[in-house]
Amino acid sequence: MSDDCIFCSIVAGEIPSRTVYETDDVLAFLDANPLAPGHTLVIPKSHHEHVQDMPNDLAGDVFAVMQRLVHPIESAVDADGSTVAFNNGEVAGQEVPHTHGHVVPRFEDDGGRPIHSIFGERPELGDDELDDIAASIADGAE
């Protein structure tokens, strides 16, 4: 648990939440300021700031809960689909520094847009640059 972390306080029961599902390691609850009815957050119970800070098994557990909840969430609010995403890092819009996945129900004509719309102009990347980036990622993933 991290002091001054609102999501750790929710895990500890110090701040109320509308819990929809939990396991020993993962908690899912309704977002307090939802982007759509049924907007749900899924968090590891232990404090990790970023997606990449979680142990691999825990990351799998978090995603498994997100995947498990998609159908019940969409059914509960009669949604036509959902956006399933993490804001990872402050620069990416992460406001609460305890990693959390969003499941946001989507509806026909809800005025929302795809994840691609977050970004501005696409960078122009040459083949060599793409090859270098791919090689560097592949090295780091070893």
Query: Would you please indicate which residues are annotated as catalytic (active-site) residues?
Result: 100
Please say which residue, 74 or 99, places its beta carbon nearer to ligand AMP: 99
Binding map of Zn ion across residues 95-114, x = CB under 5 A, - = no contact = ---x----------------
Beta bridge partners of 103: 40, 84
Per-residue x/- marks for Zn ion, 31-70, CB under 5 A?
----------------x-----------------------
Q: Are 85 and 61 in contact (CB under 8 A)?
A: no
> Is 74 in contact with 84 (CB distance < 8 Å)?
no
Main-chain phi, psi angles of 74, to 5 degrees: -60, -40
83 touches ligand AMP by CB under 6 A: no
Q: Which stretch binds ligand AMP (CB under 6 A): 57-65, 73-81, 88-96, 105-113?
A: 88-96
- Give the helix/strand (H/E) hosting 106: strand 101-106
Site membership for ligand AMP, residue 15 (CB under 6 A): yes
Task: Tokens for 44, please give them.
Answer: 């590891």
Question: Binding residue for ligand AMP (CB under 6 A) from 1, 32, 118, 135?
Answer: 32
Residues in the chain, how many?
A: 142
